[in-house]
């Protein structure tokens, strides 16, 4: 079955003033749509792979399960489809952004010392990613929280990732995600992101990941 572009879970202007309407419209309707179209085109050549969902497809990146002929296309575009499907859901209107659950807050405190310390480490991962990529907060194999960054459209589910984990929060730091509003001021964009984090979704992601499951896309 072919992948489809998911609808945004809010109006394109819902994240104003932190993410502008034009960026959201182009980011979702152009960039994400292109990833979907490209991964579908690649999988047309190998119909036996069409039964894989987007999570399993990403978990297979970096393994022999992906034919060499389409390995790069799947990595870039299958990664882009997962990453953006995940990203839209971890953001919400500023007034709807509440905070982590008691369970997630306790895990954050245990792993990083405090919420502010976690944000500082996450922000550093996002700001320090050279070129295009992502920053992630996730649950590692031992059940603890970790922070990592990935290049381009890689993510910590893929075998190519430096540090593997189940993501519960992610931030896109490709220039197309912020340049119309923030130009070269990536740290300003990163700081603004915390005003629109959908903590209810992140809490659900944490609960699923802590049980070994995957966040719902």
Q: Which of 32, 62, 89 marks a domain boundary?
A: 89
Residue 96 has what pLDDT?
82
C-alpha span between 31 and 34 (Å, rounded)? 5
28 labelled as ligand-binding?
Answer: no
31 labelled as ligand-binding?
Answer: no
List, for residues 106-164, the tens digit of each pLDDT value: 999 999 999 999 999 999 999 999 999 999 999 999 999 999 999 999 999 999 999 99
Residue 1 pLDDT > 80: no
Domain CATH code at residue 74: 1.10.287.990
CA-CA distances (angstroms) from residue 205 to 103, 110, 170? Answer: 12, 18, 11
Does residue 40 lie in a domain region?
Answer: yes
Does residue 6 lie in a domain region?
Answer: no
Residue 24 has what pLDDT?
98
The β-bridge relationship of strands 166-172 and 145-151 is unpaired
Residue 216 pLDDT > 90: no
Query: ω before 2 within 30° of 0 (cis)?
Result: no
- Is residue 206 a contact partner of residue 101, using CB atoms and an 8 Å limit? yes
CA-CA distances (angstroms) from residue 11 to 4, 44, 81, 190? Answer: 19, 32, 20, 21
- Are residues 201 and 122 located together in one domain of the fold? yes
Does residue 71 lie in a domain region?
Answer: yes
Residue 181 pLDDT > 90: yes
Residue 50 has what pLDDT?
85
176 labelled as ligand-binding?
Answer: yes
Which residue range forms the structural domain that includes residue 26?
21-89
162 labelled as ligand-binding?
Answer: no
- Are residues 99 and 139 located together in one domain of the fold? yes
Residue 60 has what pLDDT?
97
Residue 12 pLDDT > 80: yes
Does residue 113 lie in a domain region?
Answer: yes
Rounded to an integer, the average pLDDT of 166-189 is 98
């Amino acid at each position: 079955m072919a992948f489809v572009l998911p609808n945004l879970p809010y109006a394109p202007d819902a994240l104003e003033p932190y993410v502008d309407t034009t960026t959201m419209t182009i980011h979702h309707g152009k960039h994400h749509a292109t990833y979907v179209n490209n991964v579908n085109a690649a999988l047309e050549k190998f119909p036996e792979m069409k039964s894989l969902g987007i999570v399993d497809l990403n978990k297979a990146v970096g393994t022999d399960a992906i034919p060499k002929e389409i390995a790069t296309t799947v990595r870039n575009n299958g990664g882009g489809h997962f990453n953006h499907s995940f990203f839209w859901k971890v953001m919400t209107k500023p007034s709807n952004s509440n905070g982590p659950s008691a369970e997630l807050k306790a895990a954050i405190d245990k792993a990083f010392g405090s919420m502010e310390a976690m944000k500082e480490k996450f922000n550093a991962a996002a700001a320090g990613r050279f070129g295009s990529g992502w920053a992630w907060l996730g649950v590692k194999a031992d059940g603890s929280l970790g922070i990592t960054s990935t290049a381009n459209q890689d993510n910590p589910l893929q075998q190519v990732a430096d540090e593997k984990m189940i993501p519960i929060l992610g931030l896109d730091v490709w220039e197309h995600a912020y340049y119309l509003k923030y130009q070269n001021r990536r740290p300003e964009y990163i700081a603004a992101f915390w005003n629109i984090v959908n903590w209810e979704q992140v809490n659900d992601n944490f609960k699923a990941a802590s049980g070994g499951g995957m966040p719902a896309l």
